[in-house]
Each structure stands twice: as structure tokens, then as C-alpha cells.
Amino acid sequence: MAELEQIKQISIRMKDLREIFEISIDMLSKKLNIDKDVYEKYESSKKDIPVGFLYEFANYFNVSLTTLLTGEEPKLHTYSLVRSGKGLNIERKKPYKYHNLAYNFLNKKGEPFIVTVPPTGDDVPITLSEHEGQEMNYVIEGTLKVLIEDHELILNEGDCLYFDSSKKHGMKAIGGTEAKFLAVIMK
């Protein structure tokens, strides 16, 4: 239930920002290159919101991703230390679990996450997303099947993938075990 409440709060903040800046849903969906109906579902909490889109949305309105996710401003300027197993948990409807590793650092150039992906069956399709910028994924444990447009890649522990995140992409854990990776999303 906590994940649904978090998505609802994020949706409220998205709507508030859009209304404060007096931008229509139609205009914003064009600016962010997203289908208007999909955006309306994000803003009304009827559809899970990909982290990549939230990052793009936050950048468009010149707010930090942490502010959009939590309603609180980052405060640290010199450094941010996140101990093992700690970080800002981002609850999602999706099976992915995100831990933001620099949530309290002000004016970040990128967003680092530890992402945990549970295994799924071979018949479960990979959900694709896209967002501006670039992304780096470093596999810590397990095996990931990654799709980037029409390219299929298998990443194992220690593999690192860097790509243009404006291309449709997605991944899933394979091999019957969860996969864990470091993801860094950058403008």
C-alpha cells in the first residue's frame, strides 16, 4: 500500500508543478514527447511512472528528482555518503526496486540508483521506456536481458552498459535469480 501512496503523492506534485507553471497537459506532453493519455494516467495515479520519465519531468521544471519524489529539498553541497543498504527507497508498482544513492545532494549532474529486478518467466515481455539523456548500467549480481530498440544484449555480473536513453530500452532478470545493478541516469 505504501507504493500506491507514494505514486499518488508524486502525481500530486507533478500536477501542482504543471499548474503553477500554467502549462496544459497537451503542451507538456508535447514538450516531454509522451502520449497525452499516458501522461494523464501518470498525473492521475492510474499508471506507474518510470523513473527515467520522472527524471526528465523534474529537469523540465528545474527541480531535483528528490523533491519530486519526496516533497523535500536536497541539502548537501560538498558530499553525500549513503551507507550500504541505505538510500532513498523508491516504491514502484513495477517489480523493480530502486534505491537512490545521492538523494540528498543538491544540483546533481546525474541520478545514481541501485536497482533490483526479480526474475520473471521467459513469456513475460520487457517493458520499454525512453527519456532524454544517457544512462549507465553496471551489473552487480545476476544476469540481465537488455533491449535497446532492436538490439538484445545479455549482461552478466561485472558488465557495464552505457547508452543513449532517448532510445526505447528495458530489461529483465533472467536465469531464475534476481539481478542487481547500478544505474546512473544523466542529462
**What pLDDT is recorded for position 22?**
94
Domain spans of the chain, in order of start: 2-70, 88-186
Measured from the Cβ of residue 2, the count of other Cβ atoms closer than 10 Å reads 8
pLDDT of residue 91: 66
- Residue 10 in this model has a pLDDT that exceeds 50: yes
Closest by Cα among 183, 181, 178 to 162: 183
CATH number of 2-70: 1.10.260.40
pLDDT at 1 over 60: no
Q: Rounded to an integer, what distance in angstroms lies between the CA atom of residue 186 and that of residue 112?
A: 9
State mean pLDDT over 64-87: 87
| Continuous H helices in the chain | 2-20, 25-31, 36-43, 51-60, 65-70
The CATH topology of domain 88-186 is Jelly Rolls (2.60.120)
pLDDT (tens digit per residue) in 127-176: 888 888 999 999 999 999 999 999 999 999 999 999 999 999 999 999 99
Q: Among candidates 67, 6, 58, which has minimal Cα distance to 32?
A: 58
Predicted local confidence at residue 48, as pLDDT: 82
Residues recorded for the chain: 187
Tens digit of each residue's pLDDT (9 = 90 or more) over 25-75: 999 999 998 999 999 999 998 888 888 889 899 999 999 889 998 888 888
pLDDT in tens, 90-122: 766 567 888 899 988 988 899 999 999 999 888
At 2 the pLDDT is 63
**Is the pLDDT assigned to residue 9 strictly greater than 50?**
yes
